[in-house]
Homo-oligomer: A and B are copies of this chain.
Amino acid sequence: MSTPPTGSVSSSALAEADEIAVQVRRFVEQEAAPRHADGFDEHGVRPEVRRELQDRARAAGVFAPTAPIEFGGLGLGIVDQVPVLEAAGRSLLGPQALNCAAPDEGNIHMLDVIATPEQRQRYLAPLAEGTARSCFSMTEPAPGAGSDPSMLRTTATRVSGGWRIEGHKWFTTGAEGADFAICMARTGGEGRTTEATMFLVDLPNPNVEIRRAVRTTDFSGVGGHCEVYYHGVEVSDDAVLGRPGEGFRYAQVRLAPARLTHCMRWMGAAQAAHERAIAHVAEREAFGARLGELGMVQAMLADNEIDLQASRALVRSTAEILGAGGKARQESAIAKVFVSEAVGRVVDRVVQMHGGMGVSEDTDLGWLLSSIRPFRIYDGPSETHRWAIARRLIHQATANGRA
């Protein structure tokens, strides 16, 4: 067994998180990874395997690392999450087992910040405890809100004592079987002036039609990336999450940390694949040498290590800003772009180092490559982030120039 990477974890302040990460890693390797064979069906993670692994995670004391302590979580802050969620991500079943997978993990964070006391008890508590599942219903098919939220077409209109939601969403991850949805709807304005509100919608609901789970190249979640129709769904006023008209602002609350936790989990997956490649090339021979003695293989190994260390360093420094109360919009966009592209390169090189075996069923590397590909698209394609990063740079420079 190889030891965990320690390069980026140097400060004594991280000691406790590091210790948890070691336990998580052990749990994931011993409990989650061996279930790859029976853990998935064509819809993603099998719910019963998920439940079983969650019970074991509770027993092992590693359950819900990001959830509030009052609901049984470990209550780790974003900085401490870095090594822990990376360790969880080493198996695609790990985050499910630990209840720190998307979208529940991001919803837990957002509810923790925004929800009313009643909403905390009713929605956050069971979510944190793993007895409920949730989904986040924001993305719409063209010509609705995709990368550009101002194109939001789902509406919520005032009705007596509440709201009526009408709209069409997709990539509502985990909708099938979820206990509730957080649905983003337009409640005013248009285009750049659009005002949006988030609603808590109990599921199943007769007017919420889950048309299908859209099969994608990745699925490692539970409940599918769903296409959902809201057919005049009526909800009462206390279904408004936080306050009306604050939907986009709340989305930001969810956004930056959710980007980072995605990065952490995928770094774990890529790091685990990297270690398998190291082991492979240390063993396998060709052309009279071990693969690991060939310069082009060494270059791939080194580039993987560089990509992963740079990813970790960016994620950690961004987490520190968030942890200190910053918004880190720019930094989290930078981290998301860099890490999503870096982990994709890493897994691609790991496949290449495995040769024909790497694209065959004799490893699950082809599956990992397909699974990690959408990360360059989900949560905003790289191009959208680059555009936003550049705009902020120019805006900031221009603002400084005028000052």
A216 interface neighbour in B295, B326, B359, Cβ under 8 Å: B359
On A, residues with C-beta under 8 Å from B are: 1-3, 7-8, 10-11, 139, 141-143, 146-148, 151, 170-171, 214-218, 225, 275, 278-279, 281-282, 284-287, 292, 294-299, 301-303, 305-306, 309-310, 312-314, 316-317, 320-321, 324, 326, 330-331, 334, 337-338, 351-352, 355-362, 366-367, 369-370, 373-374, 376-378, 381-383, 385-387, 389-391, 393-394, 396-398, 400-401
Tell me, in angstroms, the Cα distance from A215 to B355 when the chains sit together. Answer: 14
CB distance from A115 to the nearest CB of B (A): 28
User: Among A147, A148, A299, which residue has the most Cβ atoms of chain B within 10 A?
Assistant: A299
B-chain residues with CB within 8 Å of residue A147 when the two chains form the complex: 286-287, 355
A370 interface neighbour in B171, B366, B378, Cβ under 8 Å: B366
CB distance from A386 to the nearest CB of B (A): 4
Tell me, in angstroms, the Cα distance from A279 to B383 when the chains sit together. Answer: 19
Tell me, in angstroms, the Cα distance from A292 to B216 when the chains sit together. Answer: 24
What are 19 sample pairs from A and B whose C-beta atoms fall under 8 A apart? A2-B400, A7-B334, A8-B317, A146-B355, A148-B286, A215-B361, A279-B401, A282-B398, A295-B297, A296-B298, A298-B386, A302-B337, A302-B390, A302-B393, A309-B317, A312-B317, A313-B317, A355-B381, A356-B377
B-chain residues with CB within 8 Å of residue A141 when the two chains form the complex: 357
B-chain residues with CB within 8 Å of residue A10 when the two chains form the complex: 317, 320-321, 324, 326
Establish whether residues B386 and A359, one from each chain, have CB atoms under 8 Å apart when the complex forms. no
B-chain residues with CB within 8 Å of residue A218 when the two chains form the complex: 359
B-chain residues with CB within 8 Å of residue A286 when the two chains form the complex: 146-148, 151
B-chain residues with CB within 8 Å of residue A366 when the two chains form the complex: 216-217, 370, 373
A356 interface neighbour in B148, B170, B299, B359, Cβ under 8 Å: B170
B-chain residues with CB within 8 Å of residue A171 when the two chains form the complex: 356
B-chain residues with CB within 8 Å of residue A298 when the two chains form the complex: 295-296, 386-387, 389-391
User: Among A3, A214, A337, A383, which residue has the most Cβ atoms of chain B within 10 A?
Assistant: A383
B-chain residues with CB within 8 Å of residue A400 when the two chains form the complex: 1-3
Closest to A301 in B: B390
B-chain residues with CB within 8 Å of residue A146 when the two chains form the complex: 286, 355-356
Closest to A324 in B: B10
Q: Would you list the 10 A-B pairs with minimal beta carbon distance, nearest first? A: A295-B295, A298-B390, A302-B386, A313-B313, A217-B366, A302-B389, A301-B390, A215-B361, A295-B296, A2-B400
Establish whether residues B142 and A297, one from each chain, have CB atoms under 8 Å apart when the complex forms. no
User: Among A3, A146, A393, which residue has the most Cβ atoms of chain B within 10 A?
Assistant: A393
Establish whether residues A361 and B214, one from each chain, have CB atoms under 8 Å apart when the complex forms. yes
CB distance from A190 to the nearest CB of B (A): 13
Closest to A139 in B: B356
Establish whether residues B355 and A285, one from each chain, have CB atoms under 8 Å apart when the complex forms. no
Tell me, in angstroms, the Cα distance from A1 to B397 when the chains sit together. Answer: 8
Establish whether residues B337 and A387, one from each chain, have CB atoms under 8 Å apart when the complex forms. no
Tell me, in angstroms, the Cα distance from A358 to B141 when the chains sit together. Answer: 12
CB distance from A174 to the nearest CB of B (A): 15
Given contacts A10-B321, A310-B313, A389-B302, contact A295 B294 (CB under 8 A): yes
Establish whether residues B295 and A387, one from each chain, have CB atoms under 8 Å apart when the complex forms. yes
Tell me, in angstroms, the Cα distance from A197 to B138 when the chains sit together. Answer: 56
Tell me, in angstroms, the Cα distance from A382 to B348 when the chains sit together. Answer: 13
